[in-house]
C-alpha cells in the first residue's frame, strides 16, 4: 500500500489559486477558526511536505520564524511544519540550506513515486502554482483538498493549465463553513 | 423590489462551463433525484428565459422537439422551456423566428434593467458563455446557481474572464448532490 500525495489549496470559484506574481492573497477568506480542524487533520495525516523551490525560499523561513514564538496562534502548525521532513524540488539549488529539508533534483515522476513507496504517513503539498501544475500534469496527486473561496478573480494563475485531457474525479466529501468557504475533497477516479 | 436575474450553469472545478470547442463530455448527466428536485424548484421561480443568440439557435429548436415527443424522458421540461417567454439577445437577427420568443437588440444594461422592472417571477439565463460573460461584466446577474462537476478540464470557455477586478460573492446555500455534483448558490453583493 503506497502512501498518498495530497494537495491542499485555496481556490477561487473560477478556478484560480493566485492572482499572479505579487498576490497578496486578500481574496482568500482567512477564517482559520472555521477550517482549523480540517487543515490540522490533513497536516497530521502526513509526515512529509513537498515544496517547489520558488515557494520554499519564503515558506520555510516564515515557519521557522513563527516557531520561535510559542504565543503565536499558528505555533502548532509551525511546530508541525518545521519538524516535518521537507523535500524541495529544484533544478538550481545545489544543497539544502534549511533544517529537516532535502533537495530533489531528479525526474519529478521518479522522485515522487520513490517517496510514495517509502514507509510512513502520507505526503502533502501546498504549492506553489508552477510546481503543483507539474504534479497535476503528471497525474501524481492522489487526493485534492480545495478550499473554494466565495470570490471570482477573473484572471490569475491556475494549476490545471498543463492538462492535455479532462480529469474526472470521485468526490470524497464536501463541506460548507460559516464563513462562506466550501471544502471539496476529490480523489482520482480509479 | 425588482425581479432577479439568476444564472444556472454546469461548471468544472477549474471554472469552465464548456471545453474550448464547447465539449460537454466532462459533465455528469446521470442526475440523482435531489438535483432534479432542486432544478425543478428553481424552474418554478422564473417566467422568463434570456438567451444569447448563438445558444438560442440550438436551445429553442431542441426543446421544441422534446416538447413534441411524448415519449422523451424530458418531455415535461420541453414543454416548460417551449412555453416560457424567451428573450433572445442579438445584434444580427432582424426578427424572431421562434414561438414565444422576442428579440432584444438594444443596450444590454438597459434591456435587462427594463426586464427586471417588469412584474412577474424571476428571470433565468443558462448561457452561452459569451453572453453570460457580458452579463457578469456589466454586473447584471443577481444570483449564481453553479453546479460544480467532479472534473477539471484545463482549458475551455469561461464566464468570468471579462471581469476587470475580483468580485466577492455571498454564499447563500450549498448542497452536495448524490451524483457528486456540488451546488454553489451565491448572491452578488
| Superfamily for the B5-188 domain | Dihydrofolate Reductase, subunit A (3.40.430.10)
pLDDT, position B189: 66
For B182, which of A14, A164, A174 is closest by C-beta distance? A174
Report the chain B residue with the minimal C-alpha distance to residue A147. B13
User: Which of A158, A168, A182 comes nearest B174 by C-beta?
Assistant: A182
Q: Each residue of A37-90: pLDDT tens digit? A: 999 999 999 999 999 998 999 999 999 999 999 999 899 999 999 999 999 999
Helices (H) and strands (E) in chain A, counts: 5, 9
Gap from B111 CA to chain A (nearest CA, Å): 25
Identify which has the larger pLDDT, A188 or B149.
B149
Query: Alpha-carbon distance B123 to A127, whole Å?
Result: 41
- Contacts with A90 (C-beta within 8 Å, 6 or more apart), sequence order: A53, A56, A103, A104, A105
Phi and psi at residue B176, in whole multiples of 5°?
Answer: -95, 110
- B151–A19 CB contact, under 8 Å: no
pLDDT at A171 exceeding the cut of 90 = yes
Give the 3-state secondary structure of residue B185: strand
Spans of all domains in chain A = 11-20+31-188
Chain A residues closer than 8 Å to B17 by CB: none
DSSP annotation of B18 reads B
Contact A15, B16 (CB under 8 A): yes
Mean pLDDT per 10-residue segment, chain B (189 residues): 94 97 94 97 97 94 96 94 97 93 96 96 96 97 98 96 96 98 94
Mean pLDDT over residues A77-106, rounded?
93
Contact status, residue A154 vs residue B167, Cβ threshold 8 Å:
yes
How do the domains of chain B map onto residue ranges?
Answer: 5-188
Under DSSP, the state recorded for A125 is E
Nearest CA in chain B to A172: B180
Question: To the nearest whole angstrom, how far is the Cα of A104 from the nearest Cα of chain B?
Answer: 27
Answer yes or no: do A155 and B168 touch at CB < 8 A.
no
Chain A hits for B166, Cβ within 8 Å: 12, 19, 27, 151-154
Please give the Cα distance from B185 to B143 (Å, whole number).
7
pLDDT band at A97 (very low <50, low <70, confident <90, very high): confident
**Substitution target from A168, A169, A189 for chain B, most B beta carbons within 10 A:** A168
C-beta pairs of B24-33 under 8 Å, 24+ apart in sequence: B25/A166, B26/A166, B26/A168, B26/B149, B26/B151, B26/B153, B27/B149, B27/B151, B28/B149, B28/B150, B28/B179, B28/B180, B28/B181, B30/B179, B31/B177, B31/B179, B31/B181, B32/B177, B32/B178, B32/B179, B33/B178
Write out pLDDT tens, residues A124-170.
999 999 999 999 999 999 999 999 999 999 999 999 999 989 999 99
Cβ–Cβ gap A150/B171 under 8 Å: yes
Residue A31: its pLDDT value, please? 87
Instruction: Report the CATH architecture of A11-20+31-188.
Output: 3-Layer(aba) Sandwich (3.40)
Is residue B16 within 8 A of residue B161, CB to CB? The reply is: no
Of B26, B161, B166, the CB nearest to A166: B26
Alpha-carbon distance B40 to nearest alpha carbon in chain A (angstroms): 23
Say if residues A162 and A133 touch (Cβ distance below 8 Å): yes
Amino acid at each position: 500500500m503506497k502512501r498518498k500525495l495530497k494537495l491542499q489549496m485555496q481556490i477561487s470559484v473560477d478556478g484560480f489559486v493566485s492572482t499572479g506574481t505579487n498576490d497578496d492573497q486578500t481574496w482568500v477568506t482567512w477564517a482559520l477558526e472555521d477550517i482549523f480542524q480540517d487543515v490540522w487533520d490533513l497536516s497530521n495525516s502526513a509526515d512529509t511536505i513537498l515544496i517547489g523551490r520558488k515557494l520554499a525560499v519564503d515558506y520555510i523561513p516564515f515557519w521557522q520564524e513563527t516557531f520561535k514564538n510559542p504565543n503565536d496562534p499558528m505555533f502548532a502548525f509551525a511546530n508541525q511544519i518545521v519538524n516535518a521532513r521537507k523535500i524541495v524540488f529544484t533544478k538550481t539549488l545545489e544543497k539544502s540550506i534549511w533544517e529537516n529539508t532535502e533537495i530533489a533534483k531528479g525526474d519529478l515522476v521518479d522522485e515522487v513515486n520513490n517517496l510514495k513507496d517509502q514507509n510512513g504517513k502520507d505526503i502533502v503539498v501546498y504549492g506553489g502554482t508552477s510546481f503543483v501544475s507539474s504534479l497535476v500534469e503528471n497525474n501524481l496527486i492522489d487526493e485534492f483538498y480545495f478550499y473554494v473561496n466565495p470570490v471570482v478573480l477573473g484572471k490569475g494563475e491556475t494549476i490545471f493549465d498543463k492538462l492535455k485531457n479532462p480529469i474526472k474525479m470521485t468526490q470524497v466529501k464536501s463541506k460548507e463553513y460559516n464563513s462562506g468557504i466550501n471544502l471539496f475533497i476529490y480523489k482520482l477516479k480509479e | 423590489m425588482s425581479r432577479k436575474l439568476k444564472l444556472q450553469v454546469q461548471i468544472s472545478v477549474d471554472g469552465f462551463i464548456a471545453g474550448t470547442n464547447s465539449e460537454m463530455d466532462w459533465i455528469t448527466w446521470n442526475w440523482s433525484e435531489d438535483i432534479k428536485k432542486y432544478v425543478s424548484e428553481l424552474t418554478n421561480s422564473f417566467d422568463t428565459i434570456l438567451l444569447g443568440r448563438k445558444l438560442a439557435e440550438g436551445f429553442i429548436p431542441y426543446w421544441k422537439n422534446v416538447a413534441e415527443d411524448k415519449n422523451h424522458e424530458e418531455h415535461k421540461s420541453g414543454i416548460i422551456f417551449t412555453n416560457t417567454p424567451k428573450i433572445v439577445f442579438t445584434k444580427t437577427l432582424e426578427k424572431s423566428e421562434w414561438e414565444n420568443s422576442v428579440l432584444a437588440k438594444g443596450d444590454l444594461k438597459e434591456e435587462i434593467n427594463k426586464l427586471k422592472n417588469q412584474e412577474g417571477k424571476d428571470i433565468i439565463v443558462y448561457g452561452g458563455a459569451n453572453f453570460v460573460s457580458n452579463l457578469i461584466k456589466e454586473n447584471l446577474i443577481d444570483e449564481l446557481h453553479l453546479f460544480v462537476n467532479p472534473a477539471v478540464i484545463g482549458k475551455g470557455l469561461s464566464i468570468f474572464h471579462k471581469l476587470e477586478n475580483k468580485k466577492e460573492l455571498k454564499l447563500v446555500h450549498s448542497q452536495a448532490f448524490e451524483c457528486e455534483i456540488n451546488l454553489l448558490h451565491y448572491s452578488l453583493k
